[in-house]
């Protein structure tokens, strides 16, 4: 059984930016990654005052050695008008009922990362935690959408980093990518070994590229690397989708094939869609090229 945790908000709000600030974490299940049954929401916004009392955003879930599930997610608070992001934790024994840990468990460290007001960037980026077990057995690693505290304002996007031995207490470290790589942010990072090759994927639309580049049609990006632990070279990344697909995640399908799921972002007329794609096979060639097989339903007009 596959469990999908996704952002959801009422379509009655109309503007996707309004929905963004009212998002909760929905939950759906599937046996084939194509047909999904929606179940009760996993998380909704907390009662005020709390670090996540405006919105709960993207994260990831892992199973602890004792068998419980740990979901790390992004919280935004009314105290800063939703402009400061922090990482929260919820736990579950069955993936259906989740219990929040009080307060955030990871916050941006100003030694390396930009805070709200450090530049003209509109928010404090510290979101989209991707948590995975250290391949060498040295605890747990977390990748975070973050921004460095130096460099041109539109070129500070980095992959933030934290480490833990128990999934509760985290130590923030320097970013795993340098600023100046051409990105205002690198959203929804993930690392996996695909066809024997460590692979980093992340998302960035053209309007968030440095210098607001118009020559690149991008949504999800990918780059091969020497290790799941970094450091990574985003200057070598290439887009594997255009802006019609965003926030890609890769996973093995029931046959063991690596596939990507993403959300349909905008249609040919620029209207927001906000629906899940079908799984798309993804491979890494012997030369290190990342290839995504898109079905007709996932190719923009």
Please write down the long-range contacts of 258-264, taking CB distance under 8 Å and 24 or more positions apart.
258/192, 258/194, 258/195, 258/282, 258/283, 259/33, 260/201, 260/220, 260/292, 261/4, 261/33, 262/219, 262/220, 262/298, 263/6, 264/298
Task: Note the pTM of the prediction, 2 decimals.
Answer: 0.95
Kindly give the confidence (pLDDT) of every residue in the chain, 301 residues in length, as a single tens digit, with 9 standing for 90 and above: 999 999 997 776 666 777 777 789 999 999 999 999 999 999 999 999 999 999 999 999 999 999 999 999 999 999 999 999 999 999 999 999 999 999 999 999 999 999 999 999 999 999 999 999 999 999 999 999 999 999 999 999 999 999 999 999 999 999 999 999 999 999 999 999 999 999 999 999 999 999 866 667 899 999 999 999 999 999 999 999 999 999 999 999 999 999 999 999 988 888 889 899 999 999 999 888 999 998 655 544 3
Task: Let me know if 21 is exposed, middle or buried by CB neighbors in 10 A (0-12, 13-18, 19+).
Answer: middle
**240 and 292 Cβ atoms separated by less than 8 Å:** yes
Q: Strand 258-266 vs strand 272-276: parallel, antiparallel, or unpaired?
A: antiparallel
Closest CA to 37 of 276, 261, 250, 252: 276
- Ordered domains of the chain (ranges, CATH): 2-292 (2.115.10.20)
Task: Report the 10 Å Cβ neighbour count for 281.
Answer: 14
pLDDT for 96 equals 98
pLDDT for 300 equals 41
Alpha-carbon distance 26 to 71, whole Å? Answer: 13
């Amino acid at each position: 059984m596959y469990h999908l945790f996704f952002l959801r908000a009422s379509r009655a709000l109309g503007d996707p930016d309004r929905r963004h600030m009212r998002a909760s974490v929905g939950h759906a299940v599937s046996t084939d990654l194509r047909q999904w049954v929606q179940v009760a929401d996993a998380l909704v916004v907390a009662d005020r005052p709390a670090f996540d009392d405006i919105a709960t955003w993207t994260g990831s879930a892992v199973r602890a050695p004792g068998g419980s599930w740990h979901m790390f997610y992004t919280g935004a608070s009314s105290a800063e008008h939703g402009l400061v992001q922090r990482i929260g934790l919820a736990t579950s024994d069955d993936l259906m009922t989740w219990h929040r840990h009080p307060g955030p468990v990871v916050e941006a460290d100003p030694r390396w990362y930009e805070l709200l007001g450090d530049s003209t960037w509109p928010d404090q980026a510290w979101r989209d935690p991707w948590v995975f077990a250290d391949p060498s057995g040295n605890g747990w690693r977390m990748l975070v959408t973050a921004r460095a505290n130096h460099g041109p304002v539109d070129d500070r996007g980095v992959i933030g980093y934290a480490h833990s031995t128990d999934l509760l207490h985290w130590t923030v470290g320097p970013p795993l990518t340098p600023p100046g790589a051409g990105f205002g942010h690198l959203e929804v990072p993930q690392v996996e070994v695909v066809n024997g090759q460590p692979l980093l994927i992340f998302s960035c639309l053209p309007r968030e590229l440095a210098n607001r580049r118009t020559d690149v049609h991008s949504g999800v990006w990918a780059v091969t690397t020497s290790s799941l632990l970094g450091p990574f070279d985003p200057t070598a990344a290439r887009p594997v989708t255009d802006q019609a697909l965003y926030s890609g995640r890769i996973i093995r399908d029931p046959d063991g094939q690596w596939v990507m799921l993403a959300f349909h972002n905008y249609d040919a007329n620029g209207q927001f869609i906000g629906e899940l794609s079908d799984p798309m096979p993804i491979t890494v060639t012997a030369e290190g090229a990342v290839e995504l097989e898109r079905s007709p339903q996932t190719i923009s007009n």
